[in-house]
Amino acid sequence: MSDYAGEKTLEPTPHRRQQARREGQVAKSRDLVSAAMLLLGLAVLMALGGSLAGFLVDYCRNQLGGRPWLTADADFAVAEWNSILWGLGRRLLPVLGLIFLAGVAVNVLQTGFLFLPQRLNLDIGRVNPLGGLARLFSSSNLVNLVFGVVKLLVVVSVACAVLYNEREAIAGLTALAPSTLTFRMVQILLWTALKLGAALFVLAILDYAFQRWRHECDLRMTPQELREEARHLEGDPQLAARRKRMQRDISRRRSSSAITPPTQADRLKS
């Protein structure tokens, strides 16, 4: 009976779910956030990267083949620096802003809005070397290691397959003009990275499903835990049953006292 009582066979109660959420125990996949940010970043670069590439090409052309510098004083350096910052910032900020919003959106979609200021407190237990060794050789880290090896194999396989399919285009790059060569190389690299990102996104979805399953398993309760939670929320069940019996006895006595006994005349008539 004690073995059965120690098994987590019961579904978690709403109170246990709320308590776990308040402690920051939620199902979350970091790989899903990384894969989504990678895919969106590549998509944004493919859509808005032309302006950035054009700015870099024009800057290199002006620096290597433009008018020679006749002066290089402090004012010239500040003006050149401001020009570079303005040109790069105007083209990079939309890309970085969309990637940042994607990361926030994926986190919120996984866990909802979660505010945990207690996580900022110093936890001495997390810097304990013995605790770190225990976490290092835990089953969770073993699963993460196996998943990391699988992810590496998938990435290598997809990259090799994509580059093998582009072998003829890669072999013909030497016959292209420099401008066409650069465009073709960037195109091959972007499409290869996009396919790698799609493969990583599929693996991240599987990882998120596994994290949700493990989270549900961790939330499951033993019968003893369920009794302790009920005792904590509603009080001791034995005391509650005793109070109900006392209330029934009091109600029974009140109802019996409310019935008047028959008079002598009523008994003679009967």
pLDDT tens digits, one per residue of 162-192: 888 888 888 887 777 777 777 788 888 888 8
> CA-to-CA distance for 224 and 10, rounded, in angstroms?
10
Q: Are 199 and 162 in contact (CB under 8 A)?
A: no
Contacts of 245 (CB under 8 A, 6+ apart): none
Q: How confident is the model at residue 3 (pLDDT cuts 50, 70, 90)?
A: very low
DSSP three-state, residue 10: strand
Token digits for 63? 């620096």
> CA-to-CA distance for 119 and 131, rounded, in angstroms?
18
Per-residue pLDDT reduced to its tens digit, 107-117: 888 887 777 66
- Whose CA is closest to 37, among 125, 100, 114? 100
Per-residue pLDDT reduced to its tens digit, 194-249: 889 899 999 999 989 988 888 888 888 888 888 888 777 766 566 667 777 887 88
**Domain coordinates of the chain in residue numbers?**
225-258
